[in-house]
């Protein structure tokens, strides 16, 4: 087929996909959530905190896992005040015995697990060789092994119950690898691949009540960028940030309406489609954007391992304040302060 004829069809396919990606997330009926048991890892900040609070407001049983116990207790109090039930289990997802304990605690308290959300993860920003190898290894321990530990205990419980929804939080980087995020991109590709393989195993076993969904958000304004290791020399930056509420809504929705892959919003849908159509070009454009934001534009920042090896005090809310900080940085660049005499 000539390229002139092919182009309109590709454009139509792209538009259809874009519309599907944007329209797929609908409202959730509180009655469909009330009384169900959800395990949420990474529930102390960002998406996990938002999801836990939203589920609490719909009177769910919410099992809260992360390393910062004080924040989990704060979220637990909010869940209970809103009419839900909360159980706090301090957990490092990289430790398989702690994930097994998390599942046992959930079943002991609520009798079953309806939804398991593997949301906890960390990032590492910088040139691959400038990031200490221990930090790359920790990204894999938390983001890949943590999701395997969680998926393993959840799948065993779901098989025993004959039902359950596993939700893994991937990223647009599950499909589009990003320069200066090498091990993070690799970890998120692994999360997507794990979900695809598990769905085939479930299909082959004929157990129709079990599902695995991978949620793929675009860059979103959460404490993720405060918690990430950063050896780029500049403050963490990205473009066209989404609001966390959009991703929180998508995670809650997909936990009841499973989708093998759910890019969140038009930017993630467009990026994944563009990568399918023209992978090299998409990767080049994405890399050029990060190069400009992270190395050519960002004000200086000291190297940090972020919250990879130990939790940080900072970054306690759902929102991360990155958009505000970037606006301040952009304004200061456009209008630099006069030199001090
Ligand atoms: N924000 C974005 O731009 C974006 C885009 C795409 C995908 N995502 C994904 O979204 C998910 C949530 O991230 P977020 O944006 O909400 O950032 P966040 O606020 O930093 O949330 C990460 C959560 O993971 C927890 N965590 C980190 N290491 C852990 C460990 N070893 N064991 C247990 N919990 C651990 C953190 O709590 P503690 O420190 O208390 O343990 C925190 O609650 C992640 O999977 C991330 O990769 C984010």
Q: Which residue is catalytic, options 116, 184, 225, 241? A: 184
Confidence of residue 20 (pLDDT cuts 50, 70, 90): low
Overall domain count for the chain: 1
Q: Which of 54, 91, 120 to mutate to test the pocket of ligand 1 (most atoms within 8 A of CB)?
A: 120
Instruction: Give 340 Cα–ligand 1 centroid separation in angstroms.
Output: 40
227 domain residue, yes or no? yes
Phi, psi dihedrals of residue 83, rounded to the nearest 5°: 110, -5
Residue 112: give its domain's CATH number. Answer: 3.40.50.720
Q: What is the pTM of this model?
A: 0.94
- The residue whose CA is least distant from atom 15 of ligand 1 is 224
Q: 255 is in which domain, residue-wise?
A: 26-334
**Is there a catalytic annotation at residue 184?**
yes
Question: For 216-257, what is each residue's pLDDT tens digit?
Answer: 999 999 999 999 999 999 999 999 999 999 999 999 999 999
Q: What tokens does 124 get?
A: 């590492």
Which sign, positive or negative, has the C-alpha torsion 282, 285, 288, 290?
Answer: negative
Classify each residue of 304-334 as buried b or exposed e, where b means 16 or more C-beta atoms within 10 Å of its C-beta: bbbbbeebbeebbebbbebbebbeebeeeee
Dist. CA 314–CA 305, nearest whole Å: 13
8 domain residue, yes or no? no
pLDDT of residue 213: 98
pLDDT of residue 166: 98
5 domain residue, yes or no? no
284 domain residue, yes or no? yes
228 domain residue, yes or no? yes
Between the CA atoms of 274, 276, 280 and 286, what dihedral angle is there, to the nearest 10 degrees? 40
Q: Which of 46, 171, 225 to mutate to test the pocket of ligand 1 (most atoms within 8 A of CB)?
A: 46
310 domain residue, yes or no? yes
The H-or-E segment that residue 186 falls in is: helix 182-205
Looking only at Cα atoms, what is the longest distance across the chain? 76
120 domain residue, yes or no? yes
**Shortest CA distance to 45 belongs to which of 301, 244, 309, 316?**
316
Question: For 275-313, what is each residue's pLDDT tens digit?
Answer: 999 999 999 999 999 999 999 999 999 999 999 999 999
2 domain residue, yes or no? no
């Amino acid at each position: 087929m000539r390229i002139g004829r092919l182009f309109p069809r590709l454009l139509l396919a792209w538009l259809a996909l874009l519309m599907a990606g944007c329209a797929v997330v609908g409202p959730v009926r509180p009655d469909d959530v009330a009384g169900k048991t959800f395990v949420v890892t990474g529930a102390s900040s960002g998406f996990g905190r938002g999801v836990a609070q939203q589920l609490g407001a719909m009177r769910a049983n919410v099992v809260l896992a992360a390393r910062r116990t004080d924040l989990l207790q704060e979220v637990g109090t909010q869940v209970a005040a809103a009419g839900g039930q909360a159980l706090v289990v301090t957990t490092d997802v990289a430790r398989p015995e702690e994930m097994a304990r998390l599942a046992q605690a959930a079943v002991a308290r609520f009798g079953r697990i309806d939804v398991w959300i593997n949301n906890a993860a960390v990032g590492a920003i910088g040139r691959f060789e400038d990031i200490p190898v221990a930090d790359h290894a920790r990204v894999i321990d938390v983001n890949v092994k943590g999701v395997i530990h969680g998926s393993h205990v959840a799948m065993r419980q779901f098989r025993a119950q004959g039902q359950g929804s596993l939700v893994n939080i991937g990223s647009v980087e599950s499909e589009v690898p990003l320069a200066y995020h090498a091990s993070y991109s690799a970890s998120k590709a692994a999360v997507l691949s794990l979900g695809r393989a598990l769905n085939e195993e479930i299909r082959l076993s004929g157990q129709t009540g079990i599902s695995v969904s991978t949620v793929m958000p675009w860059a979103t304004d959460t404490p993720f960028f405060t918690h990430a290791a950063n050896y780029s020399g500049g403050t963490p930056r990205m473009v066209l940030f989404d609001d966390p509420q959009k991703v929180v809504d998508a995670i809650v929705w997909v936990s009841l309406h499973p989708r093998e892959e759910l890019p969140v919003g038009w930017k993630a849908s467009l990026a994944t489609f563009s990568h399918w159509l023209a992978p090299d070009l998409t990767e080049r454009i994405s890399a050029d954007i990060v190069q400009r934001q992270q190395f050519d534009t960002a004000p200086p920042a000291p190297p940090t391992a972020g919250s990879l090896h130990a939790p940080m005090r900072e970054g306690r809310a759902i929102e991360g304040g990155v958009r505000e900080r970037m606006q301040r940085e952009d304004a200061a660049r456009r209008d630099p302060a006069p030199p001090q005499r």
